[in-house]
Structure 1
Amino acid sequence: MRKLLFNILLFCAIGIILFATNLVSGKLIAWILVPIVSIFIFLTFMQVKKEYNKLRRQQDEKSPY
């Protein structure tokens, strides 16, 4: 999960640097960077949800009720 978060921050930083130095237009960043970051956010959410469900199942198995 840390790797995904690092990748999201890295892509955001690259996009900001490219936009600030006028190497690429804002439209190009919107069409390329935004979908990539959205995919990473979605994958992170799915991984967190999977971990949460796994921990919850383990806790339910330990519970005496």
Structure 2
Amino acid sequence: MKRFWDVDELAAHFTLTEEDWTLIANKTDATRLGFAILLKYLPVEGAFPKHAADVPPMMA
């Protein structure tokens, strides 16, 4: 995955929608963040990250 994203790319690919918020509503703290990252990572990469280092720092 691309490591550095500009603001417009981040907004286009990683902004949580209302439906996303519904999915993560029952999660708390770190679990919510992790779930949101996986939720947005999957459509961009077509797979889940294999290692934490696969997730760009700007996403976390």
- If the length of structure 1 is used for normalisation, what is the TM-score? 0.31
> Higher helix fraction: Structure 1 or Structure 2?
1
- If the length of structure 2 is used for normalisation, what is the TM-score? 0.33
Query: Considering only CA atoms, is the larger Rg found in Structure 1 or Structure 2?
Result: 1
